[in-house]
Structure 1
Amino acid sequence: MPHQLAVTIRAPVPADRVAAVREVLEEANRTGPFGAYFHFPDVKGIHFARLLLVPEGPGGADEGMPASVVFMSEVDAPLRDHLADLVRKSGDALEKVFAHCDGYPSGGAPARARIAWLRSHRVPNAAYYVNTVGRGRQQILREARLHEAIGEFLDENRTTLKGVPPQGVRAAVQEFVRSRPDLAWARSRPARPALWWRIRQAVHLVAVPLAGVVLLPFLLPVLAVWAVLLRLHERRDVPSRARPSRAHERELAGYEDFVAQNPFTAVGSVKPGRFRRITLTAVLFVVDYGVRHFFNRGNLAGVKTIHFARWLFVDDGKRVIFASNYDGSLESYMDDFIDKVAWGLNAVFSNGLGYPRVRWLVRDGARDEQAFKHYLRCHQLPTQVWYSAYDTLTTRNIDTNARVRAGLFAPLGPDGTEAWLALL
């Protein structure tokens, strides 16, 4: 079983080509279904993918914040296979976008040249969240089919199985699955990610806190000075009073609420000065450590509706892009965060220009619900092209399907058998 990667490829777009890129993306959006224009369904291992245009920053290209086209995917490792398959299956369509960027090897260039260009324009993640580490696309789709097949079997045999005790119903289901060669995989447990990856994760889990313990005598006075500087900066912060225009909200709404999931993409400027950049870098380092090792089994500090999320610096650290794939509406998504992890939102986003006023990095801020929602909506970008490999499945559906598979042939007592049947 592979682990999952967040791939981001970003390339500046000359000012005179921005309109052309936007037209290609809008054409792709009109073509439908999602991802068909770029053949994303044919690319092995993709969970989600998106293409969008990021506008230039407040200072424009002269300040190192040009407009850019961004491709993002959440994909099963390894990276080399993903990029090779992406170029092989979607290279011609991608060329229509990236050919507007300087240096793209278009016009029949060999695949290896295009792969090299894509690699050279990758942007590393500052933090990356995976709902359930190691749950690959093939596993998700297979387990959905398994649950559906069992459901159909039970419906077709409702009369025969009426009055049969739970253990007998489960035995009938097991026999049905054994009789289906296409479901033979369900008789074994999912494989674990590669050993080398698990070892690297274990080393990282231990090494970071050990380094913190060693550096603690030096960090304590630094933290004391940082706390004083933090309050000085927070007192000088000026929250934005901007509200999203109706035109902006209508444009965003035109790309939302078509399937069980939605994409969210936002970009914002980091508050000026080294202090804020260093603080945000440190906060995202802690976030990445937490989601990498502790919040990787379907629960992000109480929020259970996110499939993937990432934070990354662009424009030499002057701006940050946040992107996620989540279940339900944007309103419920924002409410979930405000109610459960407002402190986490504040720790990250309070380093962004115009964020609602915060105290001590984690207090207030997102608790001002309307100000926070206006802030997010103002910074949200239209995601013109978005693809989901399993657009009818919520995180809850995916987890239920995995539990159905896990309990199918596992040793279960009477209570466990009834609980397993309740999943169906």
Structure 2
Amino acid sequence: MPHQLAVTIRAALPAVHVDEVRRVLSEAHREGTARELFPFAEVTGTHFARLVLVPEGPGGGARAAMPASVVYMSEVDAPLDAHLAALVRAAGEGLEKVFGHCAGYPSRTAPDAARIAWLTSHLIPCAAFYVNTVGRGRRQILREAELHEAIEEFLDRDGAALAKESPQHIHAAIRRYVSGREDLAWARTPPAPPARGWRARRTAHLIAVPLAGLVFLPLLLITLPLWAALLRWHERRDVPHEARPRRDHVRELATYEDHVTQNPFTAVGQVKPGRFRRATLSAVLFVVDYGVRHVFNRGDLAGVKTIHFARWLYIDGKRRVVFASNYDGSLESYMDDFIDKVAWGLNAVFSNGQGYPRTRWLVRGGAEDELAFKRYLRCHQVPTQVWYSAYDDMTTHNIETNARIRAGLFADLGPAETEAWLALL
């Protein structure tokens, strides 16, 4: 069973080609040609994928403006090399239309190996990457949905005859039915865990970070009062943005939302100037990365259960941060979920961005001002013109239910457990 990767490929786009690429991405969505130009369904192991145009960012002082860029992001099953090779084979024409204007992109006559090498050279690592359930591959998700559907069809057909039977008898009948179908033979065994080497590295990281924290604990305790004083000094001088999202911007965003069960979210923000804010954000994202790797990795991000994947990453020499996620339901419910359950976490990360609602002690205030926070997010959200989901009719709850159905199908269950399992159907 593979583990999941966050793939981000970013390339600067010359200003003269920005409108052309924006038109390609918009027309691919509007005319329904995205599946032809970017057939991500043919790229084995792809859970979600998107292409977005990140706008130019302002400079400051002696710093030049930050260039516009094309960004490809996907959540895929390992290994990376296989994904990039399949991506170039399946979506070569689409990649040419968006990355072909970027410096150094290989010509159409160049071999696939050259394009793979170019894409590899433009990969950006994540500062933090959240996976709803680590190790649950795309094939497993789709297969378990097929298993659930097959069992439902069996019950629709034979349910009347089984209605008066005991839960144990019904469970046994379902098990016999599945056992009799060769195409469902895989369901008789539990899914294998990710590769042993990957699990070993993950365990090493789990242990090494707390040990390193213990080594540096005396230094951290000494510097903490100074950091807290500097934090309040900066917070008192922060200037929140009062701007409201433009109506045409909101209308454009809405064009790409609420077409299926899930939605994409992509936002770009500028980090507040100065080493203090950059260092604080780096430390916060380091903690977030550790938490989503080892603590919040079983379908629950600090109480928020509707997110399939999420990532935080730096661009432009850590002058800007991109946040991207795939979530269930509407944006309004998504934002409400975060505000109600993990406002402190939003503040810890996003308060280091320019214009964020004023915070206190890093975690108070900020997102607690619901209206200001929602305006801030909408202002920084960028359109996700091209977006793909391998299972766009399934919520995280559906996927977890399907996994539990498979887990209980051939398990030895007691009476209460059998009733609970049947209630999943």
TM bucket by the smaller chain?
over 0.9
Instruction: Show the counterpart of 1:244.
Output: 245
Instruction: Show the counterpart of 1:100.
Output: 101
1:6-47 deviation per Cα after TM superposition (whole angstroms, max 9, x unaligned): 000000000001011111111211242764431111000000
Name the aligned partner's letter for residue 385 of structure 2: Q
What SS does the corresponding residue of 2:216 show, helix, strand or coil?
A: helix
Q: Is the contact made by 2:58 and 2:65 (CA closer than 8 Å) also made in structure 1? A: no
1:95-131 deviation per Cα after TM superposition (whole angstroms, max 9, x unaligned): 1111011110022211111001001001110000000
Name the aligned partner's letter for residue 310 of structure 1: R
Specify whether residues 136 and 33 from structure 1 end up closer, same or farther in structure 2 by C-alpha distance, changes over 3 A only.
farther
1:45-93 deviation per Cα after TM superposition (whole angstroms, max 9, x unaligned): 0000000100000229962510000000000000000001101111122
Mapping for residues 410-421 of structure 1, pairs under 5 Å: 410-421=411-422
Greater Cα shift, 326-335 or 32-41: 32-41
Mapping for residues 84-123 of structure 1, pairs under 5 Å: 84-123=85-124
Q: Is the contact made by 1:132 and 1:296 (CA closer than 8 Å) also made in structure 2? A: yes
Name the aligned partner's letter for residue 25 of structure 2: L
Instruction: Show the counterpart of 2:267.
Output: 266
Instruction: Show the counterpart of 2:327.
Output: 326
Deviation, structure 1 residue 223: 1.5
Name the aligned partner's letter for residue 372 of structure 1: F
Instruction: Show the counterpart of 2:290.
Output: 289
Mapping for residues 180-259 of structure 1, pairs under 5 Å: 180-259=181-260
Mapping for residues 129-144 of structure 1, pairs under 5 Å: 129-144=130-145
What SS does the corresponding residue of 1:157 show, helix, strand or coil?
A: helix
Name the aligned partner's letter for residue 48 of structure 2: F
How many corresponding residue pairs? 424
Deviation, structure 1 residue 228: 0.6
Instruction: Show the counterpart of 1:5.
Output: 5
CA distance in 2, matches of 1:383, 1:393: 20
1:15 is aligned to 2:18: no
1:365 is aligned to 2:361: no
CA distance in 2, matches of 1:109, 1:39: 21
What SS does the corresponding residue of 2:384 show, helix, strand or coil?
A: coil
CA distance in 2, matches of 1:34, 1:259: 15
Q: Is the contact made by 1:87 and 1:115 (CA closer than 8 Å) also made in structure 2? A: yes
1:183-213 deviation per Cα after TM superposition (whole angstroms, max 9, x unaligned): 0000000010000000000000000010010
Instruction: Show the counterpart of 1:25.
Output: 25
What SS does the corresponding residue of 1:302 show, helix, strand or coil?
A: coil
CA distance in 1, matches of 2:27, 2:111: 26
CA distance in 2, matches of 1:289, 1:159: 51
Q: Is the contact made by 1:35 and 1:385 (CA closer than 8 Å) also made in structure 2? A: no
Mapping for residues 262-411 of structure 1, pairs under 5 Å: 262-411=263-412
Q: Is the contact made by 1:31 and 1:37 (CA closer than 8 Å) also made in structure 2? A: no
Specify whether residues 161 and 36 from structure 1 end up closer, same or farther in structure 2 by C-alpha distance, changes over 3 A only.
farther
Q: Is the contact made by 2:37 and 2:93 (CA closer than 8 Å) also made in structure 1? A: no
What SS does the corresponding residue of 1:63 show, helix, strand or coil?
A: coil
Name the aligned partner's letter for residue 309 of structure 1: A
Specify whether residues 151 and 398 from structure 1 end up closer, same or farther in structure 2 by C-alpha distance, changes over 3 A only.
same
Q: Is the contact made by 1:356 and 1:368 (CA closer than 8 Å) also made in structure 2? A: yes
Specify whether residues 128 and 214 from structure 1 end up closer, same or farther in structure 2 by C-alpha distance, changes over 3 A only.
same
What SS does the corresponding residue of 2:48 show, helix, strand or coil?
A: strand
Name the aligned partner's letter for residue 130 of structure 2: Y
Instruction: Show the counterpart of 1:41.
Output: 41
Name the aligned partner's letter for residue 311 of structure 2: R
Structure 1's consecutive aligned runs of 4 or more residues displaced over 6 angstroms after TM superposition are none
1:175 is aligned to 2:157: no
Q: Is the contact made by 2:266 and 2:322 (CA closer than 8 Å) also made in structure 1? A: yes
Greater Cα shift, 17-26 or 335-344: 17-26
What SS does the corresponding residue of 2:420 show, helix, strand or coil?
A: helix
Q: Is the contact made by 1:269 and 1:319 (CA closer than 8 Å) also made in structure 2? A: yes
Structure 1, gaps ≥5 residues long: none
Structure 2, gaps ≥5 residues long: none
Q: Is the contact made by 2:57 and 2:67 (CA closer than 8 Å) also made in structure 1? A: yes
Deviation, structure 1 residue 162: 1.9
Specify whether residues 180 and 104 from structure 1 end up closer, same or farther in structure 2 by C-alpha distance, changes over 3 A only.
same
Name the aligned partner's letter for residue 58 of structure 1: P
Q: Considering only aligned residues, what root-mean-square deviation do their CA atoms show, in Å?
A: 1.2
Instruction: Show the counterpart of 1:63.
Output: 64
1:325-383 deviation per Cα after TM superposition (whole angstroms, max 9, x unaligned): 00000000000000000000000000000000000000011000000000000000000
Q: Is the contact made by 2:11 and 2:71 (CA closer than 8 Å) also made in structure 1? A: yes
* TM-score using structure 1 length: 0.99
* TM-score using structure 2 length: 0.98
Greater Cα shift, 27-36 or 49-58: 27-36
What SS does the corresponding residue of 2:5 show, helix, strand or coil?
A: strand
